Amino acid sequence: MSPSAQLRTGLELFGHPFSSYTQKVLIALYANGTPFEFRIVDPEHPENFAELKRHWPFGKFPLLFDDGEPLIESTPIIEYLHAHYPGENDWIPAGEMEQRVRFLDRFFDLYVMSPLQRIVGDALRPEGFRDPSGVDSARKDLRTAYDWIEGQLGEPWAIGDAFTLADCAAAPSLFYADWVEPIGEARPQLAGYRARLLAHPAVARCVEEARPYRAFFPLGAPDRD
């Protein structure tokens, strides 16, 4: 047991409302009505960042504590919630769809969220330290991802009727990716899926809670969504 474990009870999520990976976990918590306390990682709360870094020196969020025990990385966090805090939504349905859910979760993290982070990260660099060819290549990866997933998606959710881990990953990644590289009308299935995700109550709540931070989006947030 870690030193702080005896002092704390229940679930505590460290993250930021505007962070896509924080939203991925928030969607799972909100959709199942799982009670937790939110600990914002921002300049006004340096103690939260210090605590995060004590447990995960990379300083990346989200990080979930359960009775003081840390869980790291969005997918293992949702796997943990699935195992220990079951609810209305079955995040990783057992049986033939399990592999598909796990694969789509990897797809949205690695092939949508990662190029998106490369593009946004580049925009945060000072002039003279940017990498336009890296950004071009990330945009190309996003278009490849969009084209590949078009025709692969279930309805209404990624694998069909069940709202799963794959949708928790898809919602924030597609939400922001469309801002930097529009999905467009040529991919109607993907555009429709993104619209259904944004209408899901747990996703809509995350979008609203993140709205006050849109001015910080380095590429400029579009006047929609």
Ligand X SMILES: N[C@@H](CCC(=O)N[C@@H](CS)C(=O)NCC(=O)O)C(=O)O
The site string for ligand X over 10-49 (x = CB under 6 A, - otherwise) reads: ---------xxx----------------------------
| Continuous segment of H or E residues that includes residue 40 | strand 37-40
What tokens appear for 90 in the block? 């079955």
Between 22 and 89, CB nearer to ligand X: 22
Q: Which of 60, 196, 205, 214 binds ligand X (CB under 6 A)?
A: 60
Task: Supply the minimum distance, in Å, between the C-beta of residue 28 and ligand X.
Answer: 12
Closest CA to 168 of 157, 184, 182, 180: 157
Residue 74 in contact with ligand X, rule: CB under 6 A: yes
Residue 39 vs 187, nearer CB to ligand X: 39
Stretch that binds ligand X, among 53-61, 78-86, 189-197, 201-209 (CB under 6 A): 53-61
Length of the chain: 225
Q: Is 73 in the site for ligand X (CB under 6 A)?
A: yes
Distance CA(4)–CA(207), nearest Å, equals 32
Name the residue type at position 222.
Answer: P
CB of 73 to ligand X, least distance (A): 5
Exposed/middle/buried for residue 49 (C-beta within 10 Å: 0-12, 13-18, 19+)? middle
Candidates 30-38, 71-79, 84-92, 173-181 — which segment interacts with ligand X by CB under 6 A?
71-79
* Per-residue CA distances from 27 to 112, 183, 200 (Å): 18, 22, 9
Q: How far is the CB of 25 from ligand X (least distance, A)?
A: 8
Report the Cα 132 to chain-centroid distance in Å.
25
* Least Å from the CB of residue 59 to ligand X: 5
Assess 102 for contact with ligand X (CB under 6 A).
Answer: no
Q: At what angle do helices 132-149 and 114-124 cross, to 10 degrees?
A: 150
Interface ranges with ligand X (CB under 6 A): 19-21, 59-62, 73-75
